Structure 1
Amino acid sequence: MNEASLRSGILGSLATAGLGDALGAGTEQWTIEEIFEAHDGPIATLIQPPPDTFAGAEGNLKGQITDDTSQMYYLAEDIIAADGALDEEVWKNCLLRWADNSPHVGNMGPSTRPMVEALRTGGNPHRVGLVGTSDRQVASMGATNGSSMRVAPAGLIHPGNLEGACQATLATCIPTHNTNVAIAAACAIASGCAEGLKPDADPFSVVQACLWGARRGEELARTHPRARVAPGPSIARRTQLAVQLGMAATSLRQALLATRSWPASPFRPRSGCSSMPKGIRGTPSWPDPAWATTRIPLRPSRARWPARCAGSTPCRRTRTQRSRRPTGPNTTSNRSRTDWFA
């Protein structure tokens, strides 16, 4: 890894992050369907942010970055000033300098804003957002994406060193985003950046580095005395799921639409079988025709089945039938989770 290629990789990372931020600012808060309908597909050029986006509401111009990249650039400057020695004090001073000088302070997120006020007044940011008179912070406090959006420099100063990237990342998370969700997400991004600077890096190795970083971030959050575990999904598992969805897609549009949120409850009673206990035998309510004939092999241990359901489908089964594991092509025993989203 020579100095010229390393310099090019770091500058390229910072520049393209800013470009992506400016590109996405024009559709923030929009759904994928709204973006595709308004622009006949994904955004491919810089646009003027409309009033119903955060950037538009703040009066940002076309091509202008937001608080995301602004904080990232401030962090890069302060890491250079500290000769690479990134710790919590460096980050807290950096955040306050940003809050006092950046024109993008109006875009500050729901976790960063109250934390900045606490740091300004010498307060403890971990006492912000307590539930009643308890010592428990609101679950969403410090669980937002602020730690991830600015963390790239923590990875760029540790090319190829994922552990070093995660340790530097932790220093930027503890003051304002000290939850397992935020730390894992930030470590994933920083690890991907660190891996991406290696001469032999490719998209697959970068994704693997992100997965490693997400798992390492979860470990760090569970062992650090000032970190906390908040209710939320596993960043590593969601990353794996996103990869599965993307690899199974045949087009960019299909990949993007596949990541939409599904209804909270995936099951509904089978049509014509209203007498059966709800959720015992059903078809998922997800909008995928492949699920239409899926029979979910769930049965309570002491369920009382009626002799026959509406129509002609028998409901009572013999002991032999009950003990027989389903082996058809559409049963969950023969289908991997990846197949569910194919």
Structure 2
Amino acid sequence: MTVQTKIQGILGLAAIGDAMGAATENLSFDQIRQHFGGPVTDLQKPGETAFALGNEAGQVTDDFSQIYFLCQAVLENGGTLDKETVIKAILKWSDVSWYFDRFAGPTTRSAVAMYKDPSLKMKPLPGAVTVDYASKATNGAAMKIAPAGILNPDDLAGAIDTAITITQVTHDNSLAISGACAVAAATSASLAEHATVEDVLAAGYYGAVRGEALAKEVSREVAGPSVVERIQLAYNIVDGVGTKEEKLRRLSQIVGSGLHISEAVPSAFGIVSLNKGNALQAVIDAVNIGYDTDTIATIVGSMVGAFIDLSDPEFLSLFETVQKANDFNIVELSNSLADVVRFHERKQC
């Protein structure tokens, strides 16, 4: 597989995960199976239980759309990803009411408001305890982080540094950085020539540890469960007794699959660990784990999309539907990103 095909797999599977998970979001593990008559394995039109009510089957939400806008912004900036590029991307994304008005989470919404009007970042009264946008450790830091890995293939240090740059624009805190670095490092490792899923999981765990350490130097520490410890908890569940379905249920009930970064990212790692030989099935399991399914499925797709067989009929059908439903050209975007990667590699030689 080439860098281009691996990048296409990452973007394609992340987009499929977002679109498929849009129909199951907000439902519990059991409710999904009751509501749909079993696990969801295809693209369905979201119903009244979903934030994405109004979407057609195959349309994405905030998760992949932010990846798409960020990738485009990088290309517009000559292949360079810096803080200003990230801010421009998130502001351009916020101007699309179809995405922002319906899907923007509280942390992203607050950050966008501040960048549009810096006066909104008010100073607290003397002695007051305040919680600003940056102190919220929500999973929005990890859902859009794939470009950090894509632009730094098989370069964990570079992926982690880039992940911190992206994360600090909207989620400038220790837990969000740890979770984002975990996913970025995993994505980066997946682009190595002879990468395995075991490599991805190991790199992701390292990313979480390294991100946590670096965040203490460049960001602020916030209260909440450790992403590192929660990933280990997920692995313990996967390595324990029980069927695969029972382990997925435990991941949803014990690790959690909600909005907090310390639920979504560790849960994604557990799902990937349960599906080492089938990238598409990993995304399908994420779609059916319950709660914030579209985000977790996007994260899982980012981590293992490089392993997908682009000629697989099941993947190809889903991929073509998503591209058409969103008017995306993911193939062209992947080609352009691969050109950027190859250009930077030549400069380093």
TM-score (norm 2): 0.68
Distance 2:113 2:132 in 1: 17
1:79 equivalenced with 2:94 (yes/no)? no
User: Of 148, 169, 176, which aligns to 1:175?
Assistant: 169
CA drift of 1:27 comes to: 0.9
Distance 1:164 1:38, change over 3 A: same
- The 5 Å alignment of 1:1-342 reads 5-56=2-53, 59-101=54-96, 103-105=98-100, 106-123=102-119, 127=122, 134=128, 136-137=130-131, 141-224=135-218, 227-261=219-253
Percent of paired sites with the same residue: 33
Distance 2:68 2:61 in 1: 11
For the residue of structure 2 that corresponds to 1:35, the secondary structure is helix
Distance 1:232 1:60 in 2: 33
The total of aligned residue pairs comes to: 254
What amino acid sits opposite 1:241 in the alignment? L
Distance 1:251 1:67 in 2: 33
CA-based RMSD: 2.2
Q: Which structure is higher in RCO with an 8 Å CA cutoff and minimum separation 6?
A: 2
Deviations 1:3-50 (CA, angstroms, capped at 9, x unpaired): x61000001100110000011110111110111222343211111111
For the residue of structure 2 that corresponds to 1:55, the secondary structure is coil
CA drift of 1:174 comes to: 1.2
What amino acid sits opposite 1:204 in the alignment? E
Contact persistence 1:131–1:138 (CA under 8 A) = no
Larger Rg: 1
CA drift of 1:82 comes to: 2.1
Q: When you count helix as a share of all residues, which structure comes out higher?
A: 2
Distance 1:12 1:102 in 2: 28
TM-score (norm 1): 0.69
For the residue of structure 2 that corresponds to 1:229, the secondary structure is coil
What amino acid sits opposite 1:231 in the alignment? A
What amino acid sits opposite 1:166 in the alignment? I
CA drift of 1:60 comes to: 1.2
Contact persistence 1:21–1:65 (CA under 8 A) = yes
Distance 1:60 1:141, change over 3 A: farther
Contact persistence 2:134–2:170 (CA under 8 A) = no
Task: Give ranges in structure 1 of 5+ residues lacking alignment.
Answer: 264-342
Distance 1:60 1:27 in 2: 13
Task: Give ranges in structure 2 of 5+ residues lacking alignment.
Answer: 256-349
For the residue of structure 1 that corresponds to 2:98, the secondary structure is coil
